[in-house]
Amino acid sequence: MSGLYDLAMPALRLLDAEAAHELTLAALKAGLGPRAVWDADSVLRTDLVGLQLPNPIGLAAGFDKDAVAPGAMLRMGLGFVECGTTTPRAQVGNPRPRLFRLIEDRAVINRMGFNNRGHEVFAAGLAARPAGGVVGANVGANKDSTDRTADYVVGLKRLWPLADYFTLNVSSPNTPGLRDLQAKGALEALLGTVAEARAGLSAGPAGNRPIFLKVAPDLESGEVGDIVEVAVAFGIDALIVSNTTIARPAGLASRHRGETGGLSGAPLFEPSTRLLAEFHAAAAGRLALIGVGGVASPEEAYAKIRAGAGAVQLYSALAYQGAGLVTRLISGLASLIRADGFSNVAEAVGTA
């Protein structure tokens, strides 16, 4: 069925990028999404900090901000889905246009600004999802919040029984000042407060949940080690490397290359993979890593794994290749792992 779904891609590209995205989500919510037909492959089964994944290919946050269609995305064959970013109160985000296709560069620039309908709508979406599959909640802070640390804790408390894991988004470039939370002192304050809240929540009937931290690709020298040490000290389970970049690599051809916002897609692959390898070296096995940025082929997914990622996420490539990309990634990745003599994903992690 993914073939029929992919036939709609040329028509969707005739629409404004955000309008096309909204139409796609509406179709998925209505049950019109593709259903992958594939047999689970034992070589791809992945234990990600206790989360049992059928394969290590996940959906990055940003696609489904309000958790309206996580079940539909899992039916495409994805190993896990991350919804959000969600904030305590609904917010409209930045003015349109704020989402741009860089077709010549196989890239996207967005300056959405955490547009979402707030925790209550998000919670209802998670509560209504079909049983089974791993779905995470990416939480953030409202733009006008007077206490951003408190906003993250509010998200954890409201959504704790409903999500399988949580990601703290401190790395979006589209909320002014948010990336300041990655600085060592601010990160210690945030993660210390989160750890305290987590302890109380984990003692409740829902038990513990893994907590991830999503970092920016635009880090200064020395920040990698600081982030790792603070994350380890406060019990963060995994780092997601990385969010979109404010850099504009030389050679971008699209007329939209000068738009303000975060750049994702193909140009982000090499810098984000280099950064992933740096985090792998600094973490030395103390943290799991999830690789994000420019994944559009089995070879690129495998490169992230060999650079240190236990799982990968994608988003922008789906806008260009359609839902069929998921099954191509799954089958191709399994072949690459076997060709190198590994019996599972974990054996290949960090072997580059």
For residues 58 and 82, the answer to whether their CB atoms sit within 8 Å is: yes
Which 3 state secondary structure label does DSSP give 100? strand
Strand stretches in the chain, DSSP E? 46-48, 51-53, 57-59, 80-86, 99-102, 107-110, 135-139, 165-169, 211-215, 238-241, 262-265, 288-292, 311-314
Q: Is the peptide bond before 97 cis (omega within 30 degrees of 0)?
A: yes
Give me the tens of pLDDT residue by residue for the chain, a chain 352 residues long: 455 456 566 767 779 999 999 999 999 999 998 898 766 799 999 999 999 999 999 999 999 999 999 999 999 999 999 999 999 999 999 999 999 999 999 999 999 999 999 999 999 999 999 999 999 999 999 999 999 999 999 999 999 999 999 999 999 999 999 999 999 999 999 999 999 999 999 999 999 999 999 999 999 879 999 999 999 999 999 999 999 999 999 999 999 999 999 999 999 999 999 999 999 999 999 999 999 999 999 999 999 999 999 999 999 999 999 999 999 999 999 999 999 999 999 999 999 9
pLDDT of residue 220: 86
Number of neighbouring beta carbons within 10 Å of residue 307: 24
Integer CA distances (angstroms), 247 to 62, 134, 252, 282, 313, in order:
19, 32, 11, 23, 20
> What is the bridge-based pairing of β-strands 135-139 and 238-241?
unpaired
For residues 302 and 280, the answer to whether their CB atoms sit within 8 Å is: no
Burial degree of 130 (CB within 10 A; 0-12, 13-18, 19+): exposed
pLDDT of residue 1: 45
Integer CA distances (angstroms), 83 to 74, 99, 168, 281, 290, in order:
12, 18, 12, 29, 15
pLDDT of residue 2: 53
Number of neighbouring beta carbons within 10 Å of residue 168: 26
Among all chains, which residue has been given the structure tokens 């003692």?
203
Q: Is the peptide bond before 244 cis (omega within 30 degrees of 0)?
A: no
**Residues labelled catalytic:** 172
Give Rg (Cα) of the chain.
19
Fold classification of 2-348 (topology level) = TIM Barrel (3.20.20)
Integer CA distances (angstroms), 191 to 11, 161, 188, 279, 281, in order:
44, 20, 5, 18, 22
Burial degree of 221 (CB within 10 A; 0-12, 13-18, 19+): exposed
Domain boundaries, the chain: 2-348
The whole model's pTM is what?
A: 0.96
Closest by Cα among 54, 36, 52, 33 to 44: 54
Phi/psi for 292 (5° steps) reads -135, 145
Q: With DSSP H G I counted as helix, E B as strand and the rest as coil, what are the percentages for the chain, rounded to 5?
A: 40, 15, 40
With vertex at residue 283, the alpha carbon angle to CA 266 and CA 300, rounded to the nearest 5 degrees, is: 20
